[in-house]
Amino acid sequence: MPTQDTTRRLRLQTISQDVTSFHGLQTISTYDTTRADASAKNLQQAYQAMLAQQQAETEKLALYRAAIDAARLAEWEFHNAVLAMKEVVRGQYGSDSDQAQAIGLKKKSNRKRPSRKKSVAVAS
């Protein structure tokens, strides 16, 4: 038997077939084996453990998504507060002030004025 790669998830179809097989086994009253890993008790425990871990994963995924949403909203609130602060500084001190430059705005007097581009005459 080739080595199993347990780092990847099983396909949903495979798990569904396994669950169907397990439920089918429960209808066989005479099932008995000497293999401990294939016993009905071990199968039941593995099934219950899988369900519990899937539930835990779903709950943590929901918490993760909620944390993502909360962080995103906090980022937007901070960004909007900074934009409001920049408007206040620009309004209170002016666009050409050192205070405006201190918060990351460019001084109006330091802006390069647009210049006309001279057209190059084509010599014939």
pLDDT band at 116 (very low <50, low <70, confident <90, very high): confident
Give the HSE-up count for residue 72: Cα atoms under 13 Å, Cβ half-sphere: 6
Q: pLDDT tens-digit profile of 57-91?
A: 999 999 999 999 999 999 999 999 999 999 999 99
Task: Record the tokens describing residue 93, joined without a space.
Answer: 């001190």
Q: Tell me the pTM.
A: 0.64
Question: Which has more pLDDT, 62 or 114?
Answer: 62
CB 105 within 8 A of CB 90: yes
What local confidence, expressed as pLDDT, does residue 121 receive?
65
> How far is the C-alpha of 96 from the C-alpha of 99, rounded, in Å?
9
For the cut 60, the answer to whether the pLDDT of residue 97 exceeds it is yes
Q: Give the span between the Cα atoms of 71 and 49, in whole angstroms.
A: 32
